[in-house]
């Protein structure tokens, strides 16, 4: 069976693609997150920022810091979200629904949502690199454990 990817080249390209995402995440954290995040999450956001600024995009601590920060942003965005319901009971309304809802975000929630999208992209890319590395390690372990006649 032919593999759809050449892991050595693709892994390098995937890892390299994480650095521009990290630069965007740095900007989002500096411009929006640190200013707007709840105090209890600010320290972990600063730790993540420090790791990214130092070029430690693949530091294992980031595997915890990124999802935790995204979750914290989700909670804060939810606090800045309101739902408006509109009604149309007029005789001209021939639809079965006489109401509809629209989601509204405060300006701060919009800024956090934008930052969250950048952090989510970085998180997914970093995990993708880790997953591929883990798969390569497992395959190498299986190959070294296999009998010599199966390695050919």
Q: Tell which residue, 128, 115, 27, has the closest CA to residue 72.
A: 115
pTM higher than 0.75, yes or no?
Answer: yes
Extents of the domains making up the chain: 9-147
User: Residue 123: pLDDT above 90?
Assistant: yes
Please give the backbone phi and psi of residue 82, each rounded to the nearest 5 degrees, phi first.
-135, 155
Under 8 Å between Cβ of 18 and 125: yes
Which tokens belong to 55?
């070029």
Q: Work out the pLDDT band at 95, boundaries 50, 70, 90.
A: confident
Q: Tell which residue, 69, 74, 73, has the closest CA to residue 52.
A: 69
User: Residue 105: pLDDT above 70?
Assistant: yes
User: Residue 145: pLDDT above 90?
Assistant: no
What tens digit of pLDDT does each residue of 46-84 get? 999 999 999 999 999 999 999 999 999 999 999 999 989
């Amino acid at each position: 069976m032919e593999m759809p990817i050449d892991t050595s080249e693709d892994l390098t390209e995937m890892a390299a693609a994480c650095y521009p995402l990290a630069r965007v995440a740095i900007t989002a954290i500096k411009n929006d997150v640190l200013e707007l995040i709840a105090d209890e999450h600010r320290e972990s956001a600063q730790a993540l920022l420090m790791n990214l600024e130092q070029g430690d995009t693949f530091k294992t601590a980031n595997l915890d810091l990124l999802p935790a920060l995204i979750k914290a942003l989700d909670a804060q965005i939810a606090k800045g979200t309101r739902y408006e319901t509109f009604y149309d009971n007029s005789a001209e309304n021939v639809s079965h629904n006489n109401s509809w809802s629209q989601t509204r975000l405060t300006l701060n929630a919009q800024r956090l949502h934008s930052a969250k999208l950048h952090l989510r992209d970085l998180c997914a890319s970093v995990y993708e690199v880790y997953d591929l590395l883990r798969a390569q390690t497992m395959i190498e372990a299986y190959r070294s454990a296999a009998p010599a006649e199966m390695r050919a």
